[in-house]
Amino acid sequence: MNWIILIIAGLFEVGFAFCLGKAKVSSGPAMYAWYAGFLIALTMSMLLLIKATQTLPIGTAYAVWTGIGAVGTVIVGIVIFHEPASFWRLFFIATLIGSILGLKYISNS
């Protein structure tokens, strides 16, 4: 169950990065709404990470959490913000995904 909580925490990390990106290109009330979304997603991500680390090893949980956030943020950047999708960028994202899966596989929890 804590792996599911950790994955959701990582998705909230992607959410707060997305909100930052949207706030950057917004102005007025919309910008403040995106910043509010950022704060909500950040809070949820941290609370869920705290919950997950009650039973998962902190080193593994933190690495997986940041990995999910990094991979998800790059995907959001490519798909929504039209950032470049070069071969090497995708290659290293794939290696990061492999590392996340490897940490999950070798974990005893």
Question: pLDDT by residue for the chain (109 residues), tens digit each?
Answer: 899 999 999 999 999 999 999 999 999 999 999 999 999 999 999 999 999 999 999 999 999 999 999 999 999 999 999 999 999 999 999 999 999 989 888 886 5
List the Cα angle 64/4/68 in 5-degree steps: 30
What pLDDT does residue 107 have? 81
> How many CB atoms within 10 Å of residue 49?
23
Give me the long-range contacts of 50-59 (CB less than 8 A, separation at least 24): 51/2, 51/5, 51/9, 52/2, 52/3, 52/5, 52/6, 52/9, 54/2, 55/2, 55/109, 56/2, 56/3, 56/6, 56/107, 56/109, 57/107, 57/109
